[in-house]
Amino acid sequence: MTALQDASRPSGLAPSTRTLLSLAAAVIVLAGIYFARSLFGPLALAAVVVIIVQPVRAPLQRRGWPRWAATTATIVVAYLILGALAALLAFAGVQFANLVGQYLDDLSAMVSQATTWLESFGVEGQVTDAVTSWLDPSTIAGFAATIGGTAMSVLTAFFFVLAYVIFMAADATRYQDARSRFGGQRPATLDRITAYNSGVRRYFVVNASFGAVVAIIDGLALWWMGVPAPAVWAILAFVTNFVPNIGFVLGLVPPAVMALVVGGWPLALGVVAVYCVVNVVLQVLVQPKFVADAVNLSLTLSFFSVVFWTLVIGPLGAILAIPLTLLTRALVIEGDPGSGWLRYLSGDTAAAPPPAPPEAPAVAAVAAGPAVEAVAGSAGPETPQSPEDAATDRPEEETSR
């Protein structure tokens, strides 16, 4: 076995063949999810909501509530969470559409000034056209219409989510007995499910807590600086806090552009400075530590999961990226005893084996002693003795005679 081989070749298919088959199966599954994303996205959102509110059931049953009453309370709490999120998004969408209509002329003037400023530096051609098209009021109005259409599709899927929540919350009543019934047969599987549910809950609790703090501070700062509709940008900061790594940028650009329209570059730079101080300290320096403890995912995989799941199931994938990635790792990797190194690469440091303790020098010398003596015994002809050694050995020979 060469130094590049980790273990002997297993029987059956070659490792490269198994890898290709696994990738082909993954492509087929992801293609199915992509074409069924209008159903899969609401289903995943409902599952996450049910997981979040599931701890409400246990204390109610300990207090003597019947199962149907505890299930009803769980559904009510889930509906309250979804209703609050829907109300916030609807309010923010309406206010944003009003802002676009109110400041459309100011946006046109800003586009003209930006074009003139770029041309004064000799920037012409494709760069100017790109900036002009990006800042064109019709483009921004189209973007607002796109957001409105997305909001409508989200509201349509919202009714599916409400139905899914009822069914999943009712089924969760049976699943809570799974450990008492199958704990002896499937302990590892039940442990993975429990760890996944706990990780999802901790992740959203951490993000909601930091998002609320960031939204309040950003909203108050924007209100103090005179930026229009500070509540809209505070809601945007709260929602984008659930998008790992790039949520800070997504929440910064719209209020910065609005500040540029109403107050020029000084106000826009002030907004950027406030967001950098508040959001970088909380979202970049403090929050990742708590998120890493909750989900054990590397920063690279977190960023890639946002892009990947957004492409697969749409904008909802950016918010559900971490739970979906955790679910994929639990189903595909954690069930394989030989995939500890993949779990370690994904950010789960607990999957790494403990380092081997260093060998003590005395133990090493004792272990090497027989080998050294064997080598010395087979080293060849003996070296000639000194006269003193020969004199010492001669009386012993005479005595033996």
Query: H/E/C letters for each residue in 266-308?
Result: HHHHHHHHHHHHHHHHHHHHHHHHHHHHHHCCCHHHHHHHHHH
- pLDDT single digits (tens) 248-259: 788 888 888 888
Predicted confidence (pLDDT) at residue 322 exceeds the cutoff of 50: yes
Give the per-residue pLDDT at 371. 46
Give the per-residue pLDDT at 129. 56
Give the per-residue pLDDT at 220. 92
Predicted confidence (pLDDT) at residue 397 exceeds the cutoff of 50: no
Q: Which of 235-249, 262-276, 291-305, 318-332 has the lowest mean pLDDT?
A: 291-305
Predicted confidence (pLDDT) at residue 399 exceeds the cutoff of 60: no
Q: Which two tokens stand for residue 234?
A: 């505070």
Predicted confidence (pLDDT) at residue 339 exceeds the cutoff of 80: no
What span, in angstroms and rounded, lies between the C-alpha atoms of 345 and 355?
16
What span, in angstroms and rounded, lies between the C-alpha atoms of 52 and 77?
10
Give the per-residue pLDDT at 38. 82
Predicted confidence (pLDDT) at residue 395 exceeds the cutoff of 60: no
Predicted confidence (pLDDT) at residue 175 exceeds the cutoff of 80: no
Predicted confidence (pLDDT) at residue 78 exceeds the cutoff of 80: yes
Annotate 366-384 with b (16+ C-beta within 10 A) or e (fewer). eeeeeeeeeeeeeeeeeee
Give the per-residue pLDDT at 388. 45
Query: What is the average pLDDT across 167-181?
Result: 77
**Residue 61: how many other CB atoms lie within 10 Å:** 15
Which one has a higher pLDDT value, 117 or 195? 195
- pLDDT single digits (tens) 89-131: 778 877 777 777 777 666 666 666 666 666 666 655 555 555 5
Predicted confidence (pLDDT) at residue 80 exceeds the cutoff of 60: yes
Place of tokens 């599954």: 29
Query: What is the average pLDDT across 130-150?
Result: 55
Give me the amino acid identity at 172: A
Contact 322, 303 (CB under 8 A): no
Which one has a higher pLDDT value, 397 or 144? 144
Q: Which two tokens stand for residue 307?
A: 């892009």
Contact 364, 354 (CB under 8 A): no
Could you write out the DSSP letters of every residue in 355-394?
PPPPPPHHHHHHHHHHHHHHHHHTS-SPPPPPHHHHHHHH
- pLDDT single digits (tens) 286-312: 776 677 666 778 778 888 888 899 889
Query: What is the average pLDDT across 55-59?
Result: 87
Task: Select from 97, 106, 79 the least CA-distant residue to 232.
Answer: 97
Task: Select from 201, 312, 319, 324 the least CA-distant residue to 250.
Answer: 319
Query: What is the average pLDDT across 65-77?
Result: 88
Give the per-residue pLDDT at 136. 55
- pLDDT single digits (tens) 16-41: 787 788 889 888 998 998 998 888 88
Half-sphere exposure of 211 (CA within 13 A, CB side): 22
Give the per-residue pLDDT at 96. 76
Average of per-residue pLDDT values in the chain: 74
Predicted confidence (pLDDT) at residue 186 exceeds the cutoff of 80: no
51 in helix, strand or coil? helix
Give the per-residue pLDDT at 179. 73
Which one has a higher pLDDT value, 160 or 277? 277
Predicted confidence (pLDDT) at residue 169 exceeds the cutoff of 50: yes
Cα dist from 390 to 141, 156, 385, 386, 387, whole Å: 108, 105, 6, 6, 5
178 in helix, strand or coil? helix
